Amino acid sequence: MVATELRVIYGDTDQMGVVYYANYLRFFEAGRNEFIRAKGLRYRDFEEVHRLRLPVVEAHVAYKSPARYDDLLRVETRLTEVRRASARFGYRILRAGDLLVTGHTVHACVDLEGRVQRMPSALLDRLLPAEETDA
């Protein structure tokens, strides 16, 4: 698990003063980016070095309690499943220890032309050490 902290900016909120529902997917992305960075990689490496992309093919968000402007959030990210040509990330968003949101995203592994590709073992070795699996 990799934890990322972020603060809710005014532009993340709606007219009711709570985080707009779709922005939680942006928070998931921030967590996923930091997860990959914590593993010694960058998203940019997927495209530039490995000539691959990881588009989202499924997203799920379960809202428990709203976040508001200026809240400090903790996004916890795990790589929960890896298949031949896809990866699933799980997320928990907390405020001061209170669970606000859970969810996951599934990403296909595709080449730069959009064709499905096997996840290279060199990437898997970095992303999925045995202690990170929650399967």
Structural domains for the chain: 2-129 (3.10.129.10)
Mean pLDDT of the chain: 92
Nearest by Cα to 109 from 48, 54, 30: 54
Q: Is 14 a catalytic residue?
A: yes
| pLDDT of res. 122 | 82
* Alpha-carbon gap, residue 109 to 85, rounded angstroms: 5
The pLDDT tens digits of the residues spanning 42-79 come to 888 888 989 999 999 999 999 999 999 999 999 999 99
Is the pLDDT score of 134 beyond 50? no
Cβ–Cβ < 8 Å for 109, 54: yes
The predicted model gives 102-111 an average pLDDT of: 97
One of 12, 14, 125, 134 is an active-site residue; which one?
A: 14
Q: What percent of the chain has pLDDT over 70?
A: 95
